[in-house]
Structure 1
Amino acid sequence: MDKAVAILMSTFNGEKYLSSQIDSIIKQTYKNWHLYIRDDGSSDGTRDIIQQYSNKYSNITFFNKNNMENKGVVKSFMELLEKTDADYYMFSDQDDVWLPKKVELSINKIQNDNVDTPLCVFSELKVVDANLNPIRLMNNKNIWFDFIHFMFGNCVTGCTILINRSLKEKLQINKTNLSNIYMHDWWIALYASAFGKLLYIKHPTLLYRQHSSNVEGSQRNTPLHLIKRSLNIKNEEQGMLSIFNMDYEFNRMFGKKLSGINKNYIDSYTNLPKNSSFLYNLNLIKKYPPKRAHLKGDILFSYLLLFHSRSLLSGNK
């Protein structure tokens, strides 16, 4: 119980479920935590709820009470991470429900490892509907730990993770172009897979609430979602470009520390904006095939590289 945990929550128009989520954090069996809530410019009653809790509890802070600014989810969470201090850090959505031992289980998973090693714990989660009725497990064992897979896809859901101070410091947030970061959890997992360690808790630690505003997040690898994706090429092109932008930023920040096959992969793919052509991309796929969550994802990604690569020309160079 002596290790301090900073729980970082970014909110935006979340009044409907926010109290339920905060209450589930208050009920955690592990007690040495501090909840920092940054609101990203809500126009509903979210800020009033945050203020009520921060007035009542000394370990809940309205992080930007006097500085309201809409930055988007990545910059909002990364600002919280950069400007808070603790032994461990966790990320919280505004509409889930944490199971009582979530923090305790995450601490137990990480505590026997070397504190100087960048560490990231993540877990399974249970997808539920708006009324918390169970739907299914999120990952269903579809997880990975290697850097190359994280170059193309993410299996680490931000609201499940805990990282140590070493990982936070090595991210060098103040030197990072956050506009190139697809999602903060993906960025963290990418670094941990390259230079640290990822630890997985195979049973759910929270209820991942699905409602009209966020239902897409839980469907990322379902058959129906894959069909929708394959029919929406423009969105897939934009997603591919966003992935390459993030890989570019990672290579810019940390590429000199990489070696071997990891270095070859990221150098080859981050050179795409200046080299992209049918033949170059075909040779790239043959030598360094994309590695996604499943074969269908690999095929779709390869297809986009070969026949819809024009969007790459607008990427980082």
Structure 2
Amino acid sequence: MNVSHPQAQSGMSVAILMGTYNAQRFLAMQLDSIAAQCWPNWTIWISDDGSRDASLAIIKDFAQKWGPERVKLLSGPCRGFAENFLSLACNPTIQADYYAYADQDDIWEPDKLRRALTILEENGREQPMLYCSRTRLIDENNQELGLSPLFRRKPSFANALIQSLGGGNTMIFNRAARNLLREAGCVNIISHDWWTYLVVTGCGGSAVYDDYPSVRYRQHAANLIGCNLGLRNRLARLGQLWRGDFRRWIDCNVSALQLISQKLNRENNHLLFKFIRARRDWLLPRLLVLKQSGIYRQTLLGNLGLLFAVIFRKL
């Protein structure tokens, strides 16, 4: 996606939502990259999930430098990363024009916020809007490893039902999208980024995927979720699919979506109903729903995996 940078309204505020847990190794670099953003009007809300290392000291040093009005430290729910991030997204005291998820161990390029806000502003503020992007993969020493997969198909609820499009570390969304997340509440979900994609597209909002990698996504041994690249990672994903992990994740998302079914638009509510029914049916109806509903993943390999999952009842 090519984006010229017209001057967006500099008064627009961004609430950066960061979940931390034992983050001391890379946290200072991530915080410094946020402080170096071309977009100046940000506040960072950090929910720490019970760190036992030097994370809190690093955060307090950062807060001392930038002031208590810019850096807010909260105590997390201590029930995993997804609930930690969702507790921030649903916190009524956090008010801004836009909201950005931030992981504890990445590095943001200086123009990350400006680029995303320019794209979001071009699409208007009235409707729920979600931005996400490709990432540049780095190792523990900030050495480049490559790029995350490039997705070319249009984001939609039909895609969101079976795939999380962008990493949470790239996601920025407007107030209308945040209001949807608050209305849905702190439901039981697998990941905050997948849930955000489902809610925004399911409730009539739009998502945009930017092919420009404005986040340096660190790959290391402690990653809770890594990038799905390389033969080893793809074999690991296939193993998760065969064990039924993918079906369990879908179960969790579907249960959460049913709680907000009245918020989904008519078309997506109908699609969700067909999807639920087909997952319980025998092979031919499952295949027919896959064909007729337009459910899809972003890549050819992903769609072959989807067909595998439908045939062997792993969806």
Shorter-chain TM-score: which interval? 0.7 to 0.9
Match of 1:50 among 32, 37, 59: 59
> CA offsets, 1:73-110, max 9 Å, x none?
11111111222111110011001111111111111112
Aligned residue in 1 for 2:254: 247
Written as runs of structure 1 = structure 2, the 5 A alignment for 1:268-283 is 268-271=274-277, 275-278=280-283, 281=286
Distance 2:168 2:83 in 1: 14
Aligned partner letter, 2:257: F
Residue 120 (structure 1) aligned with residue 130 (structure 2): yes
Equivalent in the alignment of 1:22 = 31
- Say yes or no: does 1:307 pair with 2:312: yes
Partner Cα separation in structure 2 for residue 41 and residue 11 of structure 1: 8
Q: How does 1:22-171 map to 2 (within 5 A)?
A: 22-58=31-67, 59-64=69-74, 67=75, 69-83=77-91, 84-142=94-152, 144-171=154-181
What residue in structure 1 maps to residue 7 of structure 2?
Answer: none
Q: Which moved more, 1:298-307 or 1:192-201?
A: 298-307
Output the CA distance in 1 between the equivalents of 2:60 and 2:33: 17
Paired with 2:13 and 2:104, the residues of 1 have a C-alpha distance of 21
Find the aligned partners of 1:11 and 1:215 in 2 and give their Cα distance. Answer: 12
Of 176, 200, 203, the match for 2:209:
200
**Over residues 57-82 of structure 1, what are the superposed CA-to-partner deviations in whole Å (9 max), with x where a residue is unaligned?**
22443432xx4541211111111122
Give me the whole-angstrom Cα distance separating, in 2, the residues matched to 1:4 and 1:71: 29
- Structure (1 or 2) with the greater helix fraction: 1
CA distance in 1, matches of 2:82, 2:295: 25
SS at match of 1:8: strand
- Conserved in 1, the CA contact under 8 Å of 2:156 and 2:201? yes
3-state secondary structure, aligned to 2:207: strand
Number of the residue aligned with 2:195: 187
| Higher deviation after alignment, 249-258 or 96-105 | 249-258
The alignment-based identity, stated in percent, is: 25
- Gaps in structure 2 of 5+ consecutive residues: 1-9
Superposition deviation, residue 145 in structure 1 = 1.0
Name the amino acid aligned to 2:256.
E
Q: Report deviation, 1:288.
A: 4.2
Contact 2:148 2:229 in 1 (8 A): no
Contact 2:23–2:105 (Cα < 8 Å) also in 1? yes
Q: Residues 136 and 77 of structure 1: is their aligned pair in 2 closer, same or farther, counting only changes over 3 Å? A: same
The one of 215, 219, 227 equivalent to 2:235 is 227
Structure 1: where are the runs of 5+ without partners?
313-317
- How well do the aligned residues superpose, as a CA RMSD in angstroms? 2.5
The equivalent position to 1:292 in structure 2, one of 272, 292, 297, is 297
Within 2, Cα distance between the matches of 1:110 and 1:125? 18
How far apart are the structure 2 equivalents of 1:281 and 1:85?
A: 43
CA apart distance, 1:238: 1.9
SS at match of 1:172: helix
Q: By how many angstroms is 1:278 displaced?
A: 4.8
Cα 1:143–1:49, aligned 2, differ >3 Å: closer, same or farther? farther
- Counterpart of 2:35, as a letter, is I
Q: Deviations over 1:184-242 (max 9, x none)?
A: 11121223323112223321112111111128511x2544433333344554x122221
Which stretch shifts more, 139-148 or 47-56? 139-148
1:12-59 residue CA offsets vs partner (Å, 9 max, x unmatched): 111000000001111111111001111011111111111221222224
Counterparts of 1:187 and 1:232 in 2: how far apart (Å)? 20
What secondary structure sits across from 1:171 in the alignment? helix
TM-score, L = length of structure 2: 0.85
Q: 2:71 aligns to what SS in structure 1?
A: strand
